[in-house]
Structures are given as C-alpha cells and as structure tokens.
Amino acid sequence: MKLAADIVLTAVLISLFCVSHSVLASSWVKKAFHVKFGNLIAYYRIGYNLFSAISLLIIYPFIPQIDVTVYDLPNPYDLIILALQILSLFGLVWCARYFSAGEFLGLSQIKRLKEGNYNSADLDENSTLHIEGPYRYSRHPVYLFSILFLILRPVMGLTYLIIVVIFVLYFYIGSRFEEKRLVEKFGRLYIDYQKSVPRIFPIKIFRA
C-alpha cells in the first residue's frame, strides 16, 4: 500500500512541476503579462527560470525515495551506458552552439531593455530559426539529448524511472505547444521544416 502511495505522490509532484512549467511557458500567459506590465516582459524569462529552479528545489524533498531497483547493469554494460550518457552531454554542448545562452537565461532581454532597443513583440525571447548542426536531424535536439541523458543510466531506481517517464512525456507534449508558436512566427518556412526533419528522435517514423 505504501509503495502505491509513494508512486502516486512522486508522479503527482513531478507532474505538477511540469504542468506549471508548461503553463508559464505558454504564449497566452506571456501575452497577458505583457498587456498588464508592458516592457517588463523583458524580465519574464529570467523570472521563469528562477521560478522553475526554486519550485523544483521545493518539491524535491517531498519526493519519496522508493527503495526499489528496476535494474542494475553489470560490468561492462554499466560502463558502456555511462559512456553513452557522457556522449549525450556532448550532444547538449553541440546544441548550445546554435542558440543564444543569453536569450535562454533571460540576460539578453534585460540588456536590450536597458539599451532601449527591446521589441516587446518578441515577448520573452528573440528566437531565430536554426536549420543547421543538430537541427538538421531533429527539430528539438535539446530534448533529444536530454532524454538520452536521463534514460542512459547504469542503475535505475523506481523513483528515478517515474521521473524519467514523466519528463519524456513532458518534452514531447511541450514540443507540440512550442511548435504551434514557431509556426505562428515563421509560417511556411517552419511547416516545410516539420515535413523534412523528425520532431525529436532522428527517425522518419517519429517525424510527426
């Protein structure tokens, strides 16, 4: 009975984090913030990042540490998986070359506002469309390498497995909402991109 309760509590806490993260990232929330606070929307991204980090730190102590091991890979398979996990980190570094860290963190927006050249139509981010590097193989390579980093684990506990499953679902659902915004901004260019490059996994059957 306790095991079932711990599983449900873990799923609920992580799901609440993901839902709040998605809602605050939605265009309608950002537009509502802009209507009410004007150019202070420039501070939205850094506030969003801080809220995400703080909320995760708050809920983490309440997540049950379920003492169930799903698998524990023996040598040398554990080393192989660990090596692949490290490679996924290099994949994330590769992705970072093709987007602005300043925009992602929210620092560039504040800088533009202070310099007097902030375009409020950008809302919280001045995004550009990249179809190069890892973006030639996946429309969301950051999600791809994040998923690989999460699942490539030599030892898998039940708590961690629940978290991984929810985050993978969150990445996929979040990508759908994100792409609606990108279609609105880039139009036919992004629609053609959707037709030629898979969504997350660089395999044709995962294109949609």
- 105's CB contacts (< 8 A; 6+ apart) are 45, 46, 49
Domains annotated for the chain, with CATH where assigned, are 2-206 (1.20.120)
Residue 207 has a pLDDT of 58
20-37 average pLDDT score: 88
Residue 175: which residues within 8 A CB-CB, separation 6 or more? Answer: 139, 140, 143, 199, 200
184 — pLDDT class (breaks 50, 70, 90): confident
Sign of the C-alpha dihedral, residues 74, 79, 84, 85? positive
CA distance 44 to 72: 42
- What integer pLDDT is reported at residue 182 of this predicted model? 87
Average confidence score pLDDT of the chain: 89
Terminal-residue alpha carbon distance, the chain: 39
Question: In the prediction, which pLDDT does 45 show?
Answer: 92
pLDDT at site 2: 86
pLDDT in tens, 44-86: 999 999 999 999 999 999 999 899 999 999 999 999 999 999 9
Give 90's pLDDT tier (boundaries 50, 70, 90).
very high
Greater confidence (122 vs 113) lies with 113
Per-residue confidence band for 208, with pLDDT thresholds at 50, 70 and 90? low
Asked if 199 and 140 count as a contact pair (C-beta separation under 8 A), the reply is yes
Evaluate if residue 37 carries a pLDDT over 70. Answer: yes
205 pLDDT band, cuts 50/70/90, is: low
Q: What is the pLDDT of residues 150-176, one digit of tens each?
A: 999 999 999 999 999 999 999 998 898
- Identify the residue with better confidence: 23 or 124: 23
